[in-house]
Amino acid sequence: MNNKIQNKKNLITLKQLLWYFIFFSIFGLIIETIFCYATMGILESRKGLIWGPFCPVYGVGACIFIIMLNKYKDKPLHLFIIGSIIGNVTEYLLSFLLEAIYGMRFWDYSYLEWNLNGRICFKYSLFWGVLALILIKGIKGPIDKLINCIPNNKILNLSIFVFLIIDIIATVWAVSAYQERARFEYEKINIKNEQNIIQVVKNKIENTLFSNKIMLKTFPNLRYTDYNGNQHYIRDILKSD
pLDDT (average), residues 214-240: 84
Task: Give the pTM.
Answer: 0.83
Residue 163 or residue 186, greater confidence: 163
pLDDT of amino acid 25: 95
Q: pLDDT of 102-159, one tens digit each?
A: 666 767 788 888 888 888 888 878 888 998 999 999 999 999 999 999 988 999 999 9
Q: Is residue 228 scored above 70 in pLDDT?
A: yes
pLDDT of amino acid 1: 47
Distances (CA, A) of 133 to 22, 55, 102, 129: 21, 22, 31, 7
Considering 58-62, 162-166, 189-193, 221-225, the range whose residues carry the highest mean pLDDT is: 162-166
pLDDT of amino acid 2: 46
Structural domain boundaries of the chain? Answer: 2-148, 154-236
Q: Is residue 7 scored above 60 in pLDDT?
A: no
Q: Alpha-carbon distance 17 to 124, whole Å?
A: 25
DSSP single-letter state for residue 51: S
Kindly indicate the confidence band of residue 191, based on its pLDDT and cuts at 50, 70 and 90: low
Which class for 221: exposed (0-12), middle (13-18), buried (19 or more C-beta within 10 A)? middle
pLDDT (average), residues 5-27: 83
Q: pLDDT of 203-221, one tens digit each?
A: 899 999 999 999 999 998 8
